[in-house]
Amino acid sequence: MNRLTQQEKSWTFYDWANSAYSLIITTAVFPLYFKSAASEAGIAASTSTAYWGYANSLITLLVSLFAPLLGTIGDYKGFKKRFFTFFFSLGIVFTALLSIVPNEQWLILLICYMCTVAGFAGANIFYDAFLVDVTSEDRMNRISSRGFAMGYIGSTIPFLISITLIILAQQKVLPLSVTAASQAAFAITALWWGIFTIPMLKNVNQVYYKERVQNPVSNSFQRIRQTFTHIKAYRALFLFLIAYFFYIDGVDTIITMSTSYGSDLGITSTNLLIILFATQVVAAPFAILYGRLAEKFRGKTMLLVGIFVYIIICTYAYFLKTTLDFWILAMLVASSQGGIQALSRAYFARLVPKESANEFFGFYNIFSKFAAIMGPFLVGVTAQITGNTNSGVFSLVILFLIGGFILSRVPENKKVAVSESIQG
């Protein structure tokens, strides 16, 4: 069966829905809006940057630490959808609030932003875990890749609308201030996120679960403790998580530092936005291609191919000099960025016990969040020692080599059997 079921389509549409948040709120518009608001309030640029970093670190840490507990509770019958709906609603409400909070209230803006991050990240824990409910194991690579492709395409539409509004406001073509145009972008993001989540809310339900118990919170703590006590029983799963920790750190570092890296090369902000948009467009079909190839050559093989492509990217970055070089680098990233993320999600989903999917995707969330530590540090230290940003990016090869080696050692068996005490 090649056609997607209603549940599969509805699940992938959430990627279409929430990717607008990733591009507009996390990456492109709101960071600049916050910096401008803080500046107008008399906050020094270095201080506002510090506050921005502290806010992101704090909320990421809190979500990551609570992820396994929330996920474990979510494994009980009826809880997964409720938790998803709560965090999704939290994200949308506070994203909408960004559009009405006066821009001089920079601290309130920052607090609202932190709430949007909590909603976005929290909802993703349960969204990813729903993959085991909506499709069969042999279709997970295709469906996960389809989701990422939908996300890349879906994010570009509200992004184009928002950037057009802001540019027209800057050029005085529209009777709007840049502030009002930016606020409109936040409202568009919330609306987009909300409307296209409706299929997920309507058609996707928890299929695999554990029966409810009297004390789900205390029982969840006990289950987490048992998971670590019997960690050898999950050897393949945790070995994959260690590999994922290294190679996804390299992937995320290239994503998060690409703008500053391009600026160091003298690429204008306009060109950087164009390259960012082009990367999103090109990444969509390649994400689907990775999913199709994974069905033919296995997901693990394609993950290793993606890691190899990133090693080429880091090596090419060492010789980067011109805008054309940066375009080539961006297109190489686009060729594998979505694929390696999508197949990682699908590979992990096939390893986890289905009735405990939320618990393990909570750990998956921790590894993906804390993976954003080593890469930037490695790039920074190497660049500072050598005095060359290119050398800093090249140093990421180490992460991909370690991740690839550990991934190659992950047992090929689908899932390691677990004892009754763990399953219970």
Binned at pLDDT 50, 70 and 90, residue 31 comes out as confident
Binned at pLDDT 50, 70 and 90, residue 421 comes out as very low
Each residue's pLDDT tens digit, 203-231: 999 888 888 777 777 777 777 777 666 56
Q: Is the pLDDT of residue 4 over 50?
A: yes
Rounded to whole angstroms, how far apart are CA atoms 342 and 283?
Answer: 11
More confident residue, 227 or 58: 58
Q: What is the mean pLDDT of the chain?
A: 85
- pTM score over 0.85: no
Each residue's pLDDT tens digit, 168-186: 998 888 888 989 999 999 9
Domains of the chain are: 6-423 (1.20.1250.20)
Lowest mean pLDDT among 91-95, 251-255, 348-352: 251-255
**pLDDT reported for residue 422:** 39
More confident residue, 32 or 188: 188
Binned at pLDDT 50, 70 and 90, residue 302 comes out as very high
Each residue's pLDDT tens digit, 272-295: 778 888 888 898 999 999 999 998
